[in-house]
Amino acid sequence: MVFLVMLVIAVAVVVLVMRAASAQSGGQGGTTRPARPPKPRAQRETRFVAPDDDPDFIRELERRTRRDDGSPA
């Protein structure tokens, strides 16, 4: 009998603690619905551009290979 009373008290304490935690975290009136995970946004498909296909990379490479007077290195 004592075990049953202790079990009921433990359940009541757990319920009160859960409600208090829900109220502090901005829960909705003690409901225990789990939060939905965010929907994944549609991501743009990004293409990998190899360095030899990138015009900026080629310009930078040519700039580095030239000397100040404009002749190739």
* Residues 51-54: contacts with CB under 8 Å, at least 24 apart: none
pLDDT digits (tens, 9 = 90+) for 39-55: 777 777 777 777 778 88
Separation of alpha carbons 28 and 67, rounded Å: 69
Measured between alpha carbons, how far is residue 50 from residues 44, 54, 55, 60, 61 in Å?
19, 7, 10, 15, 14
Using 50, 70 and 90 to split pLDDT, how confident is the model at 22?
A: confident
